[in-house]
Structure 1
Amino acid sequence: MIVLDDEHYRWTLLEENGQLFLDAMCSHSAVDYNVLLALNEEEILLFKKKGRSYLDSLASSIHHSAPGVRGSKSPYKPRSLVMTPERERANDAIKRWDAGERT
């Protein structure tokens, strides 16, 4: 998995084997967490059409839906890749990106 782009403290766009992933930063009260999603076909089309502004909007929608909050009815919650191999690979890719490795 590799990082393609990021908006610091908002979202990170990643790619693996042609699949795009968005890692959105969420913050609710004293709790910060990230939500990793595989982008679906519609989201990919909107990203290709609108670019980074679409990712800003999607990350905001994810944040405001509070998928990590107990009792949340967020439509993104079932799509979250928390505690998956994808999450681990995303974390590794983000660490490399943050360390300045831009491959």
Structure 2
Amino acid sequence: MKIIDFESKSWFFLSHENDCYIDVNCSHSFINFNMLIQLNESELKEYENSGRNYLNSLVMEIQQYALSKFKDRNIKGDVERLANDAIIKFLQENSSRKL
């Protein structure tokens, strides 16, 4: 799993094999949680066309509809562990930079 891009304290955009994922920091009421979503074909095309701007709009949509529209797309298991390991490693390697 490789981190392609990130927005500090908001999201990480990752790739693994031929798939892309976005790990989004969400909140609902007073509870904070992360959602890991695999981008589908149309989302990948939008990313290819609009880049980071699209990721920011997708993140806002995921944050707003995390518990409804995106609930069933939240990835758990091995892929989630790979993403978490990559994020932890990235944060450790960049701990001297203000992220």
Partner of 2:65: 65
Q: Deviations for 1:27-84, whole angstroms, at most 9, x for unmatched residues?
A: 12221111001100000000011111111110110111132xxxxxx221111103x1
The alignment's TM-score, normalised by the length of structure 2, stands at: 0.89
d(CA) in 2 for partners of 1:59 and 1:14?
14
- Secondary structure of residue in 1 paired with 2:33: strand
Amino acid at match of 1:78: D
**Inter-partner Cα distance in structure 1 for 2:73 and 2:47:** 18
How far apart, in 2, do the equivalents of 1:81 and 1:66 lie? 12
Given the two structures, how large is their TM-score scaled by the length of structure 1? 0.86
Q: How many residues align?
A: 94
Identify unmatched segments of 5+ residues in structure 2. Answer: 95-99
SS in 2 for 1:75: coil
Unaligned runs of 5+ in 1: 68-73
1:98 aligns with 2:91: yes
Letter in 2 for 1:45: K
User: Match of 1:29?
Assistant: 29
Q: Segments of 4+ in structure 1 off by > 4 A?
A: none
RMSD: 1.2
Percent of aligned pairs with the same amino acid: 34
Q: In structure 1, the residue corresponding to 2:36 is in which secondary structure? A: strand
Report the Cα distance in structure 1 between the residues aligned to 2:47 and 2:93, rounded to whole angstroms: 25
